[in-house]
Chains A and B, each alone.
Chain A
Amino acid sequence: MSYQKPTFRHPQLPRNGLDLTRSSYEGLISTLCAGCGHDSISAAVIQACWELDIEPHRVAKVSGIGCSSKSPTYFLNKSHGFNSVHGRMPSVATGANVANHELTYIGVSGDGDSASIGMGQFAHVVRRNLNMLYLVENNGCYGLTKGQDSATADEGSKSKSGLENPFENIDLVGVALEIGATFVARSFSGDKDQLVPLMKAALSHRGFALIDVISPCVTFNNHHGSTKSYDYTRDHIHTGNIVDFVPARSEITAHYDAGDTTLVDLHDGSSLNLAKAQPDYDPGDKGAAVNALLKSREKGEILTGLIYIDTTEPDFHEVMSLGAAPLNSLSQETLCPGNEQLQKLNAGFR
């Protein structure tokens, strides 16, 4: 059956393969601060899902607590959402995913939500290679409680009150690489051209896909001395590679000179075309990825792009030997062994 109802409100607007305009992917009006990087990320999610022809209601949005975790309200209003508990989105996403692997899972978290209170759950959802897009809207501070440093704040970065952060930061990209993430990327909320193709690739990746998005907090962490401000990020960004996502149905055409591109095939038949900023960078080489990350850090640069990808690892669904039919669709007849079987078990208890 089809529940696709064409919307005729704006006949002149472009439509995707489902005959839907972008408005079908929008959410409620944002209540975040004007200029918040998170809103740009929401816009990128809308664009990526629209371009990929994902049915909006077949997406499940999950989040923890914080400014970032509020943002699922502002995109995909036809999707179910779950704004859960601080730092615990990964577990809710895991339960939801095993119940129905057919939906597309978009998790939205923040730096406090993932790198502090939720560090444990973040690490374990990475290990499990749960099939989801995991967005970290990373502004280096706690916005909802008015600007305290978070664990991703760089050492020496100044808070709004002028105090330097004395502690080493946690780089979630580095952590994810170390513990077996199969898709690791970093981007900047102000770089939609990079962010949207990365999201499309992440959504097409079968397994855990992390995108750490530097997303400046205009209210509490956008001042001189902060290393997560718009100005600082623009000045120090280093684009490791330029991603061009090629959907499964499109013919792959060479946008780049063969010598400078790497083609990565994804599970759903789509591909990634990577134009390399550095000719020797191979995103399938974990050692190289770790190296590039460390080097960019030494130079004080923020490495962005697709940093690492592994399309060979089985995802959690496959590891757990689950079948094609979602667990939440199985009937009582399939699930309940019945009384005759129980009487056989009783015999074994005597």
Chain B
Amino acid sequence: MSESVKTGKSNASAIGSKKTTDQSVLPIEATNDFVVKFANVNGSGSASANALFAKSVFRMGVPVTPRNIFPSNIQGLPTWYEVRISEQGYTARRAGGVDFMVSVNPQSMADDVREVRPGGYFFYDSTRPLDIRLLRRDINYVGVPLTEITNRAYDDARLRQLFKNVIYVGALAALLNIDMGVLEQLIAEQFAGKKKLIEPNCSALKLGFDAISDEHSCGLRIEKRDLIGDQILLSGNSACGLGAVYAGATVAAWYPITPSTSVAEAFEKYAGKLRIDPDTGHRNYVVIQAEDELAAMGMVIGANWNGARSFTATSGPGVSLMTEFLGLAYFAEVPAVLIDVQRAGPSTGMPTRTQQSDILSTVYASHGDTRHIVLLPSNPKECFELTAASFDIAERLQTPVIVLTDLDIGMNDSLCDPLEWDDSHTYDRGKVLDAEALDNIERFGRYLDEDGDGITPRTLPGTHPEKGAFFTRGTSRDEYATYTEKGDAYERNMQRLLRKWNGASEYLPAPIEKGSGASVGIIHFGTSVAAVHEAIDQLAHAGIGADSLQLLAVPFHDSVAAFIDKHESVFVVEQNRDAQMRTVLVTELEIDPARLQPVLYYDGSPLTADTVYTKIVEVLGKASVSASTSTTTIAGNSDTAAGD
């Protein structure tokens, strides 16, 4: 950003507010279907004001999907908050630029101006003149003297910074037709515990609202609808933490790492509310911030070995550190739950950006022959349900279960159906023998497969004075847990583990199939779901029918192979460079790699429908239909090119 913007001494233009000067481009007019993006400085307190904006749209009954786009930094760098408002209920990030840019960060202003769609709106602080180089003839400028208004109303520097954020929300309410009553109600709820803050926030809101006059005009409108129903707005990480509480997890061991940190924090928050012994005030849970991820996983394994449900949450680099322990838990057959909120890249990569690139490193984590169960939630409700289910699965199969989410779902609030818990569900604690059961058997064989399903009985320490004690070890052993290096005993054990793996899908959630007999099939999982469903609508508009299959778990249910069999063209959509899920599909299902067309995207931003649509159309050789049919594809959009 040039110095002139800050000083206003040169290259400055007092444009105030003005419409497009390029007569061939009309201002965008849209109701309940546009993208608003806030360009802020991180650490400036903008997050709660931006969330207030998104929540007001939600309360007006219009589907809304907010996303934080932030740097790996605490204060001073650019951060964005992108809100997609879609009456049709599309929740994927939309390609093709922003309809309304709220620019309150001079640092990123040049980039922010470029990102506005032709005919879109650029809202900025007009206290100082705008750099003339930021002028585009094909967009509308909405100038509001935010600093001037703020400085006039407040003396304190901190108040000025905080209320400036609320003031622009008030201005947006006037511009976009947001119900002030809804905003005031949200503020009242937010500060229910600090009532004296309600009035000043509402005043700030009004200052912004009143700053908008007839000279400002905006063709974007939010109108009340009833499209939300009983849906909720929740982050995946909160849902995972809550799922662990409901599953009866008592031990959380973790090490801070973006973007998973808020999983452990959510567990602590909800357990702190719901798990305090009413009689003694003692906690019925423990959260241990470990010294590193190795220790976190060790604690999880120790607790589960001892019969307490325990989990950890981490991201890719943490998974790397936990890998030795994952091998131990697989081989020694100790239940464990690991929530991996994926981020971008090998090494430190892009820690605040999203990807689905830990598939191979989780499914086949550790040395030797290992395979792990992986669950793949795509929205907060599934985060809650699959996290809760993971503890049953881990204890039933006596093995690690990895819940694979990502930053996009984990750290952003997204719309989903309300959470539900079936009170008739009883936790599946697996084959654990108590003292009475031990009394009734001749000889306890920890690794003796009497049921033929590969799952053998275990005992917990301290159960019985004479029977059931055994040595858990990462070394090879026989059916009675006695150390051995005999090859046949090792092979028998490894074959049994494979038997357990092959029967595992019975306990795993089945994939979700949509469509009816099209020749194109799209396999996807996790946060690609929104983009894929929107792309399928785009494809339908272009005359291409497509079915979809949302994977929820590895190993795969039989219906996955069947889905591939019955579709002529099968695409696998995933957010990584190396087509990792395709590799797992090819390996596990033993299918011809040529049967699966990769649709890859990995620039760290959330997947858009256009990326999926464009790639599929290209592969199908029908490129000619692309430009004219997709409502959201914008010429020259850089998003669509990335990742192939």
Contacts and interface: CB of A to CB of B under 8 A. Distances in A.
7 contacts: A72-B471, A73-B471, A80-B461, A83-B471, A93-B302, A95-B253, A97-B302
With a 10 A CB-CB cut-off, give which of B291, B296, B461 has the most chain A CB atoms: B461
Interface string B297-313: 11111111111101000
A336 B471 contact: no
B250 A327 contact: yes
Interface string A58-85: 1010100000000011000111111111
With a 10 A CB-CB cut-off, give which of A5, A88, A95 has the most chain B CB atoms: A95
Interface stretch (A37-45, A267-275, A338-346): A338-346
B240 to A, nearest CB: 14
Interface of A: 1, 3-5, 55-58, 60, 62, 72-73, 77-85, 88, 90-100, 102-103, 120-121, 123-124, 320-324, 326-328, 330, 332, 334-339, 341-343, 345-346, 349-350
Given A323-B283, A349-B234, 6 more contacts: A85-B298, A85-B324, A323-B282, A327-B251, A330-B284, A342-B421
Contacts of B286: 98, 320, 322, 327
B592 interface: no
B302 A80 contact: no
A5 B466 CA distance: 8
A103 B303 CA distance: 13
Given A55-B465, A84-B328, A349-B232, A96 B303 contact: yes
Given A5-B465, A57-B464, A337 B246 contact: yes
Nearest to A323: B282
A294 to B, nearest CB: 27
Contacts of A322: 282-283, 286
Contacts of A4: 465
Nearest to B302: A95
B277 interface: yes
A56 B462 CA distance: 9
A85 B328 contact: yes
Given A100-B306, A100-B461, A343 B418 contact: yes
A320 B281 CA distance: 12
Contacts of A96: 302-303, 305-306, 461
Contacts of B423: 338-339
B310 A323 contact: no
Given A81-B471, A350-B233, A100 B324 contact: no
A102 B419 contact: no
B307 A95 contact: no
Given A56-B465, A85-B325, A332 B284 contact: no
Nearest to B327: A85
A92 B324 CA distance: 13
A322 B308 CA distance: 14
With a 10 A CB-CB cut-off, give which of B59, B231, B284, B435 has the most chain A CB atoms: B284
Contacts of B233: 349-350
A323 B277 contact: yes
Contacts of B296: 91
A3 B277 contact: no
Contact of A339 (B245, B250, B325, B422): B422
A102 B285 CA distance: 16
Nearest to B283: A321
A84 B274 CA distance: 34
Contacts of A323: 277, 280, 282-284
Contact of B251 (A95, A124, A324, A349): A95
Contacts of A77: 469
Contact of B426 (A81, A92, A332): A332
B328 A346 contact: no
B210 to A, nearest CB: 29
Contact of A78 (B242, B247, B299, B465): B465
B393 to A, nearest CB: 16
Contacts of B165: none
A55 B464 CA distance: 10
B480 interface: no
A350 B435 CA distance: 48
Contact of B307 (A93, A328, A334, A337): A328
B420 A91 contact: no
A92 to B, nearest CB: 4
B211 interface: no
Contacts of A341: 274
B465 A3 contact: yes
B492 interface: no
B503 interface: no
Interface string B438-476: 000000000000000000000111111110011111110
Interface in B219-259: 230-234, 242, 245-248, 250-251, 253
Given A57-B469, A124-B291, A82 B302 contact: yes
B250 A335 contact: yes
Nearest to B426: A332
B510 interface: no
Interface in B168-194: none
A82 to B, nearest CB: 4
B427 interface: yes
Given A60-B462, A80-B461, A99 B295 contact: no
Minimum-distance CB pairs A-B, first 5? A95-B302, A91-B298, A323-B282, A99-B308, A80-B461
B282 A99 contact: no
A96 to B, nearest CB: 4
B464 A95 contact: no
B570 interface: no
Contacts of B288: 94, 98, 320
Given A85-B325, A98-B288, A346 B427 contact: no
A332 B427 CA distance: 7
Contact of A345 (B291, B295, B298, B419): B419
A82 B305 contact: yes
A80 B472 contact: yes
A328 B297 CA distance: 18
Contacts of A335: 248, 250, 275, 284
A321 B271 CA distance: 13
Nearest to B388: A336
